[in-house]
């Protein structure tokens, strides 16, 4: 199968304009959940002793908020983002069917209808590796957000 996509600004803007509605429909529901989770996590962290100590030291409110509160409140959010990758992939199948796009979800459904088991296993292997990579990236982000978490060895 040969693609006639030209890598110029006109073609790229056409792809972005046609992808806007599917992207919005996939992300709008998740944003609400992450915003509520962030709010609840910030409220829970803001009553910790290290926040009160930072305020007692006389640090600016913006410094306390960004360097102490949000950094520690982001741990549950990063976890839920990493775990939602598989849901994102499953939702992409529905979006592909809804907007009549040919993608991996459509290919998987066609393979299922034709009993093409090697293709289905290949797609599942690819999606599993994608989910594993997302979990690895999530664990590596933990090291950036929380200095107490180490990559291994020294404790």
**In the block, which residue shows the tokens 């592909």?**
96
3-class SS letters over 72-123? HHHHHHHHHHHHCHHHHHHHHHHHHHHHCCCCHHHHHHHHHHCCCHHHHHHH
- Region for 59 from its dihedrals, namely left if φ exceeds 0, alpha if ψ lies in -120 to 50, beta otherwise: beta
Tell me how many degrees the CA angle 91-122-113 measures, rounded to the nearest 5: 65
Q: Please give the Cα distance from 58 to 140 (Å, whole number).
A: 32
For 42-73, write each residue's pLDDT tens digit.
999 988 898 889 889 988 988 888 888 888 88
pLDDT at 130 over 70: yes
Q: In the prediction, which pLDDT does 4 show?
A: 76
Tokens read off for 100: 């009549």
Domain-wise residue ranges, the chain: 26-83, 84-147
How high does pLDDT run on average in the chain?
85
């Amino acid at each position: 199968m040969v693609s006639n996509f030209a890598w110029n600004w006109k073609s790229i803007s056409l792809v972005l304009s046609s992808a806007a509605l599917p992207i919005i429909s996939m992300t709008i529901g998740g944003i609400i959940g992450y915003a509520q989770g962030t709010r609840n996590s910030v409220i829970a962290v803001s009553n910790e002793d290290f926040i009160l100590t930072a305020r007692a030291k006389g640090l600016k409110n913006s410094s306390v908020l960004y360097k102490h509160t949000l950094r520690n409140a982001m741990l549950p959010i990063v976890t839920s983002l990493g775990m939602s990758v598989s849901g994102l992939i499953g939702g992409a199948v529905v979006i592909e069917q809804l907007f009549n796009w040919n993608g991996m979800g459509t290919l998987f459904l066609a393979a299922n209808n034709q009993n093409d088991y090697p293709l289905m296993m290949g797609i599942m292997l690819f999606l599993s590796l994608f989910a594993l990579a997302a979990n690895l990236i999530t664990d590596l982000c933990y090291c950036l957000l929380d200095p107490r978490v180490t990559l291994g060895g020294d404790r």
